[in-house]
Amino acid sequence: MVSHPNPGQPAGPLAGLSILELGGQGPGPFAGMLLADMGATVVKVDRVEQATAWNRDQVATAPMDRGKRSVALNLRHPDGAAVVLGLAERSDVLIDPFRPGVVERLGIGPVPCLAANPALIFARMTGWGQNGPWAQRAGHDINYISLPGALHLLGEEGRAPQAPINVLGDFAGGGFLLAFGVICAAYEARTSGQGQVIDAAMVDGSALVMAPFISGSLRGQWGPRGTNLLDGAAHFYGVYRTADARYLSVGAIEPEFYAALLDGLGLDPVVMGPQWDRDRWPSNKKAVAAAVATRTLDEWTAIFEGTDACVCPVLTPAEAAAHPHIAERHTFVDIDGVIQPGPAPRFSRTTTATPEGPCFPGQHTDQVLADAGLTDVRIEELRRAGVVA
């Protein structure tokens, strides 16, 4: 691998891995954040107009830009494309967040990039993939999870499917999939010394994340949405409203956990009947709801404290950040006054540190270009021509 460590970059298992991220939205920046969190050096290519419009007195706060450096380039200018090729020559990975064909038209597609650097991993992130009848269609997360059957399975019985914000396509099936692909390709390159192109698509990733449920549906072992153990039908697996209009999550699947749940709620096991008698689930769900509605969230939290009933308060993000367990594990970190989820997972030896604050567009243009071998005179020429900012 090419090693261009950033002196300010936290240590981590990916220290020495160099990433060039073409600026985009959602899954591409998220993958770049995951890799930067683990110690990779990530240079983000932003647009010139973003850099010129940025108020330099304004602090950058976007979590997905943390731990990165930013160079502002006009990719539509031939000299801008030439700069990208020069940066790609010095990088281990290039993240392409655009529709199929966009980088090819800009002159920075896989062919010229791999010609400049045969060991480069060209990681492409799209909604529909690089091929197929829908490859050139516009779309968003909700569309990418619709086509492979993932959205069909989500929601309440008898109601329209409910999209889980844009976490399933953009982040779980997109950014995480892309980061996983990069690590796989980087591992293979250790022995082959060769780069390759990664085709990561949210339509594939969302199906993969939902593999047990899609497969179960195809085999007839997973019923319509809202009628199954894990999606709202079971009285011992769901969310219930408390007396103070807060919510309590319940996941008491195993018999011993279920017994602890009924004991804490004060419900008679004989009256409730066998846990797995599905005919009783609707009435038992009403019984559990009625019981939970008699006390506040704090009262239920105290009652179930120290038990294995698998009962947990549904906290707001602000409450979560202050919770003793979350605090002890440093699940949330403070970066320049912005509270946000921190790097994960944890490593015993190649530990990570709190990431540096987010970059603003073009913040490191001169530094990045100088590191790539451009002289001050050449950088100023590019700036006057509107190629960089």
Active site members: 140, 170
Contact 93, 18 (CB under 8 A): yes
CA quadruple 310, 283, 244, 267: dihedral sign: negative
